[in-house]
Amino acid sequence: GEDVEQSLFLSVREGDSSVINCTYTDSSSTYLYWYKQEPGAGLQLLTYIFSNMDMKQDQRLTVLLNKKDKHLSLRIADTQTGDSAIYFCAERRDFGNEKLTFGTGTRLTIIP
């Protein structure tokens, strides 16, 4: 994941919005993803965005993509205790090749 960078930790009060950031380096990335991993579990696909889009909203989740700066963010509205997890961004570079390159993950902690 050396080409995809994320902050390691984020703490947010319950009910506030969480914003998790990610930067990537390959401008040829076609799709960008957000996955959630709870302790001892696999990865849950939260949402993804195609590289020709700027924004995607899905219920409490909003993804923003700035291709010029190669910056991706995930906003979680009204953060709940069940949102505590590690969040990974991932990029897919080659059309037809399913390899995903992951960041190191951001651990989101919810403060009651």
Partner 1 sequence: DAGVTQSPTHLIKTRGQHVTLRCSPISGHKSVSWYQQVLGQGPQFIFQYYEKEERGRGNFPDRFSARQFPNYSSELNVNALLLGDSALYLCASSDWALFYEQYFGPGTRLTVT
Q: Which is nearer to partner 1, 76 or 105 (CB)?
A: 105
Give me the least distance between CB of 99 and partner 1, in Å please: 5
* 83/87 with CB nearer partner 1: 87
**Cα–Cα distances in angstroms (integers) from residue 92 to residues 8, 60, 83, in the given order:** 21, 24, 25
Question: Closest separation between CB of residue 42 and partner 1, Å?
Answer: 4
How many CA atoms, within 13 angstroms, populate the side-chain half-sphere of residue 39?
A: 4
Q: Applying CB under 8 A, which residues contact partner 1?
A: 1, 4, 31, 33, 35, 41-45, 48, 50, 88, 90, 92, 96-105
Question: In whole angstroms, how close is the CB of 78 to partner 1 at the nearest point?
Answer: 25
Query: What Å distances lie between residue 29 and 21, 37, 46, 78, CA to CA?
Result: 17, 23, 18, 30
